Structure 1
């Protein structure tokens, strides 16, 4: 529990230091961000709602990070964890564990992978949707699950190998969901994605100069 508390505290401290609320307009965040935050407690507590430890919860954190940016996502996941704690009847330590390993860690790993995609791969819509929305989501959820099990062990009553398979399958479920939603948003509501920029991904191939970035403190 001590490690989870340190990781959560560091993530929140960094997010607060970046002051991401500066990029939110006077009208407040888009309703879809708040709607997704309301859905995430259902994802995080799925195993408790169906009373089966075999079921591995989905994360949803990568989609929130891509919509709101990393700092706002980290701050928003604190009330998500509190809602999961209340709705799923979790102990405090378990709610904190899910905040870190279903929330902060997948979002942070996906942020790093997304930065690598943007740095090393072509700035094309297909690369953004497939690389960041799909592949980075799957890898971040798998890596987060593996780190959690390495540091804390498997869920009591579950074989570690079977739980890792479950985390792998859940990660691909997250990836399909995020990839599909990101593709829809890019086509119809790109302003709902803090990690996306028309100037970067719709640049004419013949234009010169350094690429525009979407790197503000509230972007990622």
Structure 2
């Protein structure tokens, strides 16, 4: 009997390691989340779903919250993560992109910064629309499973589902904007850009 119990226990540990699921990661609404370790960081492997003021479901449909998680304005995103987790800074997103193996590229004025060969590795294997006949899906090489959740513009329109994913950082860009990580159905790049604070973007929390 002891041997059977030990076998069951070890099998459970193996399954947990393979799936990256942490049943202890639960938000205040009772939603649970898979997690994934990439390099030195542990990330949510799903978009945050907790309800807060300043958050929305894509096209105001609850089914999209279940599919994509919620879209948050910047103020809501900064306080939405569960205890022991936080909204990543721009620098912490850069650590992620470096761990994935991307090559840093900057525009001449250094206003636009992106990493080549990273988007495909972070994107999910389905749900991304084709672009000019090219498959927009990723290979999800690290288990980050980024969904093409689109976003909500500051003037309340919903845009780019199936085409783009935007993830807030905690770092301000200027008085009206904050940095976010953008992934797209074209190419294999990931970029860090400034987005209007009132926009609705996805949130991935990082373990403290």
TM-score normalised by structure 2 residue count:
0.26
Higher strand share: 2
Higher relative contact order (CA 8 A, sep 6+): 1
Per residue, is there more helix in 1 or in 2? 1
TM-score between the two structures when normalised by the length of structure 1: 0.25
